[in-house]
Amino acid sequence: MARSDVKLTGIERTFGTDEIIVSKTDPKGRLIYANEVFLRLAGYSEAEVLGQPHNVIRHPDMPRCVFKLLWDTIASGKECFAYVVNRSKNGDHYWVLAHVTPTFNAAGEIVSYHSNRRVPTRQAVAKAEALYAELSAIENGSQDRKKGMEAAYQALTDKLQALGVPYDEFVFAL
């Protein structure tokens, strides 16, 4: 499923405040469930997404360091909240407030991840856009992709440390 050739349209898709986007992945991040709201906004059929990496909907304006923070958090067994901009199959985009949680088996091992996404406030989106532009500039400022992401991750963690809050509290303050 090549995504690099999808042109961004600049058109924002929205969904109702009473709707929830739901998806579930295996421990490697491959989709094993997507509800109708997810499929409608992403513009994919269920057959097109099941078994695919969740990042099939990754928007290029979304800093990789935020996903690193998210994945590090949920892989450690904790929940994570984050504002995320996603890309639809046709190049449209949509913003969400994501809540991602690990699912454990009886032995306490992570067997999947469950994500619920709700409509974010416009005020929070504006603040997230500004932060993400700053982090993306750091990521893209390095010729080495990994070093750029690490520098942006450090900038994000430095910002959180200076504020004296964990990421979830920071997200809710936006």
- The pLDDT, as a whole number, for residue 2 is 44
Domains of the chain: 21-120 (3.30.450.20)
Q: pLDDT (tens digit, 0 to 9) for every residue of the chain, 174 residues total?
A: 445 567 999 999 999 999 999 999 999 999 999 999 999 999 999 999 999 999 999 999 999 999 999 999 999 999 999 999 999 999 999 999 999 999 999 999 999 999 999 999 999 999 999 999 999 999 999 999 999 999 999 999 999 999 999 888 999 998
Helix, strand and coil percent figures for the chain, each rounded to 5: 40, 25, 35
Of 163, 162, 130, 158, the C-alpha closest to 63 is 130
Rounded-to-integer distance, Cα 73 and Cα 46, Å: 28
Cβ 116 vs Cβ 96: under 8 Å: no
Is residue 39 classed exposed, middle or buried when 0-12, 13-18 and 19+ CB atoms within 10 A define those classes? middle
Position of tokens 């750029």?
A: 148
Three-state DSSP class for residue 31: strand
Rounded-to-integer distance, Cα 35 and Cα 24, Å: 9
Containing H/E element for 23? strand 21-25
- The pLDDT, as a whole number, for residue 5 is 67
pTM of the model as a whole: 0.92
Rounded-to-integer distance, Cα 155 and Cα 163, Å: 12
As given in the structure block, the two tokens for residue 20 are: 């929830």
- The pLDDT, as a whole number, for residue 3 is 52
Side chain identity at 75, as an amino acid letter? A
Rounded-to-integer distance, Cα 1 and Cα 120, Å: 28
